[in-house]
Each structure stands twice: as structure tokens, then as C-alpha cells.
Amino acid sequence: MKQLLLAAALIGAFTAPAFAMAGPFYIMFDNDKGTCSMATKVPSDTDKFAMMGTYKTEKDAHMAMEGMTKCHK
């Protein structure tokens, strides 16, 4: 029984950081600066920021941002 509890604790300890980086991730365009950025919260200032997309993982958000022509002007 102790071995089972120890195994469960170790599995939880190693998988918890992976879930901490889970999304959603938001890409937004700053209308004032003309640049894109990524955040984990929806921007509250909708006049300043335009939403460009929502992604499940940080990797997906980075790949999408690289492909957006508006982000590279």
C-alpha cells in the first residue's frame, strides 16, 4: 500500500508542472504600439488591444503569432 501511495505522489509531482503551463493563451494586437503580444488573461482594455486568437498551448500560440502578417510590420 505504501508503494502505491509513493508511486501516486511521484507521478503527481512530475505531472503538475506540465499542467501549470496549460492554456489558454491569447494573442493580442496593441493598437497604440503596432505590436503583438501573448498573455494568459483576456485583455480588459478592448480599445487598446485587438484579440488575434486563443490557443490551447504556448507552442501553438507562438507558431500562430509567427504566421500573422499584422504582427511583423
Predicted pLDDT at 10: 56
Burial 9-31 (b: 16+ CB within 10 A, else e): eeeeeeeeeeeeeeeebbbbbee
Segment-wise mean pLDDT, segments of 10 residues, the chain, 73 residues: 59 58 84 90 85 91 89 73
